[in-house]
């Protein structure tokens, strides 16, 4: 979803801000501005997350970061494709909603948009990706952790060896099939895995499993929210779509448990 975004700006370079920036950067997005309590910085060529993290660790602030200039205006109103409020509640209100220039607002923080501002964004066709979906990755992984603790076994422990052995068997059977067909006049036919496959031959680590489970869950939820938005003709109102989606799920579970009347 973020891969095609050109420029982005943030408020709040804390946990959410830093890690959002790291992942967006990895997928080719350019972060042009960041706002903090004591000042904002700007670089239209993009700011490197690692360099900024090191600078903040050494200096306790992002202000004065060498590869940037100070941004004197309100960073929320800066010219960018995607605005990520990642600091605190009620940053986007009816007082500033008309001045926002971003095309997409991605709510990293909880409750950064007031209901009045939300209505203005809808009227202005600005897409708001709501907090209850967008910043739910952390609690999703906490849920995985809870499942792991219930089972008293780490992810992958029961399958690591089986997976690795299966991958070697797969390579061996490709080699044997080729040798049966073409013979091995010049010695055996070497089967060289691609670098991507080589990296996976040993099987998924626990981290790989958690990352892929998280990506799967978030992609699936995004599709469900978009389907709900289409089904009820909600247009860009993804917040209502996300709430409807969540309430429908709760209803389904209660209904199936026989706890509701229809």
Ligand X SMILES: NC(=O)c1ccc[n+]([C@@H]2O[C@H](COP(=O)([O-])OP(=O)(O)OC[C@H]3O[C@@H](n4cnc5c(N)ncnc54)[C@H](O)[C@@H]3O)[C@@H](O)[C@H]2O)c1
Interface residue list for ligand X (CB under 6 A):
11-17, 35-37, 86-88, 108-110, 135, 138
Pick 91 or 245: Cβ nearer ligand X: 91
Minimum distance, C-beta of residue 250 to ligand X, in the bound complex (Å): 21
Asked if 17 and 87 count as a contact pair (C-beta separation under 8 A), the reply is: yes
d(CA 113, CA 76): 12
Pick 41 or 126: Cβ nearer ligand X: 41
Pick 44 or 138: Cβ nearer ligand X: 138
Pick 121 or 133: Cβ nearer ligand X: 133
For residue 253, give both structure tokens. 């579970």
Where in the chain does DSSP place strands (E)?
7-11, 30-36, 39-42, 69-70, 82-85, 104-106, 127-129
Pick 105 or 109: Cβ nearer ligand X: 109
Asked if 106 and 31 count as a contact pair (C-beta separation under 8 A), the reply is: no
Would you call 176 helix, strand, or coil by DSSP?
helix
Minimum distance, C-beta of residue 41 to ligand X, in the bound complex (Å): 12
d(CA 63, CA 52): 10
Minimum distance, C-beta of residue 197 to ligand X, in the bound complex (Å): 34
Residue nearest to ligand X (CB): 14
Minimum distance, C-beta of residue 108 to ligand X, in the bound complex (Å): 6
Minimum distance, C-beta of residue 34 to ligand X, in the bound complex (Å): 9
Asked if 175 and 219 count as a contact pair (C-beta separation under 8 A), the reply is: no
d(CA 250, CA 3): 32
């Amino acid at each position: 979803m973020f891969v095609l975004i050109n420029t982005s700006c943030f408020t709040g370079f804390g946990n959410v801000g830093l890690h959002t920036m790291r992942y967006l950067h990895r997928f080719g997005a350019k972060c042009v501005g960041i706002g903090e309590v004591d000042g904002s910085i700007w670089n239209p060529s993009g700011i490197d997350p690692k360099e900024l993290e090191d600078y903040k660790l050494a200096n306790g602030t992002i202000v004065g970061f060498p590869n940037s200039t100070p941004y004197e205006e309100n960073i929320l109103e800066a010219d960018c494709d995607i605005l990520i409020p990642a600091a605190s509640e009620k940053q986007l209100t009816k007082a500033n909603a008309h001045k926002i220039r971003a095309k997409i607002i991605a709510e990293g923080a909880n409750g950064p948009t007031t209901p009045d501002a939300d209505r203005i964004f809808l009227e202005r066709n600005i897409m708001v990706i709501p907090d209850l979906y967008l910043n739910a990755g952390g609690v999703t992984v906490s849920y995985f952790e809870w499942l792991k603790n219930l089972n008293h076994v780490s992810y992958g422990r029961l399958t690591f060896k089986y997976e690795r052995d299966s991958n070697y068997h797969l390579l061996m059977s490709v080699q044997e099939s080729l040798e049966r067909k073409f013979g091995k006049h010049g010695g055996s036919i070497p089967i060289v895995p691609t670098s991507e496959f080589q990296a996976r031959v040993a099987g998924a680590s626990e981290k790989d499993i958690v990352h892929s489970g998280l990506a799967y869950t978030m992609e699936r939820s995004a599709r469900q929210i978009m389907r709900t938005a289409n089904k009820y003709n909600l247009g860009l109102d993804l917040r209502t779509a996300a709430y409807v989606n969540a309430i429908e799920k709760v209803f389904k579970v209660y209904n199936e448990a026989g706890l509701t009347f229809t």
